[in-house]
Amino acid sequence: MRKIIKVLVLAILITACSSNVDSNKKMAGDFLDLALSANPLAAQELTHPEFKFVFMGNTVISNIPNDRDAYFDYWLPEVVGKLLPNGITLTTTDMIADDDGVAVIMEGDAEGINGEYDNKYVFVYKFKDGKIFSIHEYNSDLLVATRLYKNKLVPSD
């Protein structure tokens, strides 16, 4: 009897974890589609009240934590919207997930303010209370600096 109970408990735990992982993957997959749509505030419903977003790297827009209001009121329209006025097409190429987070690997295709801008991304999502608690965005900040901000590469001594 004990063996049956252990098997049942294990099955329930595996099902619960799988369901949480699947739910997190779906939410992460849906988030950017909503955030980059005509109504980005629809994505706000998926975020935790203490949500934080950070664009990682070494550019003028990097490593600055944005809370939920700053992300939706400033980051999306004033940073992304102005750098990519025609929007961006993001294609998911892979997802890695566990109970607490999801890494979404994507390829982007866009026309930036200074011409063609194609980059590769990893968005690392963390979850709390069934909502998106934080996102860290990683990409080639070299492409951001040179293609979007027109910075020039110079040799170092």
Q: Could you give the number of structural domains in the chain?
A: 1
pLDDT tens per residue, range 42-81: 899 999 999 999 999 998 899 999 999 999 999 999 999 9
The SS3 assignment for 50 reads strand
Answer yes or no: is 155 within a domain: no
| Domain containing residue 105: CATH number | 3.10.450.50
Answer yes or no: is 118 within a domain: yes
Residue 110 has which token pair? 């866009």
Answer yes or no: is 157 within a domain: no
Distance CA 61, CA 75 (A): 10
Which residues form the domain of 13? 2-148
CB proximity list for 124: less than 8 A, separation 6 or greater: 101, 102, 103, 135, 136, 137, 138
pLDDT tens per residue, range 81-118: 999 999 999 999 999 999 999 999 999 999 998 889 99
Answer yes or no: is 156 within a domain: no
What pTM did the predictor assign? 0.84
Q: How far apart are the first and last CA of the chain?
A: 73
Answer yes or no: is 100 within a domain: yes
Answer yes or no: is 49 within a domain: yes
